Amino acid sequence: MRHFLLLALSAAGFAGAAGAVDSPQPPATAPVSTHSANPLLGLPPVPVPANNPQSQAKIALGDKLFHDKRFSIDGTISCASCHDDDKAFTDNLPVSVGHHGLTGTRNAPTVINAAFYKFQFWDGREPDLEGQSKGPFINPVEAGLPSHQPILDIVRSDPDYKAAFQDVFNVADAKLTMEHVAKAIASFERSIVAGNSAFDRFYFKGDQTALSEQQKRGFQLFLGQGRCVSCHVIEQDQALFTDNRFHNIGVGINAIQADVPRLAFAFLEAKNKGGDVDQMVLTDKKSSELGRFAVTDGISEMGAFKTPTLRNIALTAPYMHDGSLKTLKEVIIHYSNGGVTPATAPVNPYLSGGIRPLNLLDSQIDDLVAFLESLTSQQYLKPTAAKPGESHE
């Protein structure tokens, strides 16, 4: 059984539960490799379900489906509209824009490394990528289709799709179902993985030159005073930077504290009458702030959202489930304040137990930001422009 260097405790985000823990340290004598080509450096093997094995043909089909705008009510929205390849598979908007310019309530999380999540969506309402991939098509503020039938009409009649589905799944016509579409999209999403950051080369390869001195200070804060690692977990031989759990970190729910009892009752009533959780949380902002509670009905998960991975976090602003924090510095300040923004705001009664003021200095906040910037994977780093007389060859 793999030894965890630190347990994923009951706090959220960058704050953790109380208690002393041994800080993980990079290997002192590991071989230095500053330019590892392994995109999975620092990651475990990609988990693949037995009923949906990967293949290059299936991934290529999923890629095509992921980028097809015909699968929306106005022909303008594809999966890639909110998860743009050129924007680290997000859209860099506070909340995503759907058909006819409609906006939802949630920030689009990156698809990079979504393969490692045990739950999908901010509130975990789907257990896997196959289930997740079907939702946005029929959400009224995303692709807006009344059902999945328009998608099936296209893939059953388009010659290219017909040939691809026949090749990949050996199905055609009525035997080609939405499950096949979902499996192809999920396979593509499962192929979008990225490790091999400066941190990985420092921590897993022992390259002491991979991080700056400021980033190394930030890493020690990440492990120590900041207690970030309690939920953004680092293990002995891999680092997913998530505990795959849900926490109330004082974002969103703080603004509706007085309204929570009424909202929760109304939401449960609507849900029991057949209301669709996916539609309710994306069409009503107050319902969205109920978080994991909307899925489990558990009062202990009121306002709780999934711990996101921190990998490539510097590329995916703005932050939190509602996109309310614009910069990494704002995020760290929020945690340093003890789960409130601004610092004088009242703490919500459902706040996860480990969240408390960190009392970070401005210089420490800057160090933590610098460390988080070291988590960008090599393949997503933008090339630096050469100075006059210099060459990158």
Quick check: 332 and 365 in contact, CB under 8 A?
Answer: yes
Cβ atoms within 10 Å, residue 353: 14
Token digits of residue 49: 């379900």
Contacts of 335 (CB under 8 A, 6+ apart): 13, 14, 15, 226, 228, 249, 355, 358
For residue 75, the model assigns a pLDDT of 97
Same fold, 1-43+195-252+303-378 and 56-190: yes
CA distance 276 to 291: 14
CATH number assigned to the domain covering 56-190: 1.10.760.10
10 Å Cβ neighbour count for 157? 10
Q: How many helices (H) and strands (E) does the chain have?
A: 14, 2
**Angle 322-257-320 from CA coordinates, rounded to 5°:** 15
pLDDT in tens, 181-237: 999 999 999 999 999 999 999 999 999 999 999 999 999 999 999 999 999 999 999
What residue spans define the domains of the chain?
A: 1-43+195-252+303-378, 56-190, 253-302
- CATH number for 1-43+195-252+303-378 (one of 1.10.3080.10, 1.10.569.10, 1.10.10.10, 1.10.760.10): it is 1.10.760.10
Place of tokens 């990967």: 54
Give the pLDDT confidence of 33-75 residue by residue, as tens digits: 444 567 899 999 999 999 999 999 999 999 999 999 999 999 9
DSSP codes, 223-243: HTTT-GGGTS---SS---S--
Amino acid at 9: L
The parts of the chain modelled with pLDDT lower than 50 are: 1-22, 28-35, 386-393
Exposure pattern of 52-90 as b/e (b: 16+ CB <10 Å)? Answer: bebeeebbbbbbbbbebeebbbeebbbbbbbbbeebbbb
How many angstroms separate the CA atoms of 151 and 165, rounded? 13
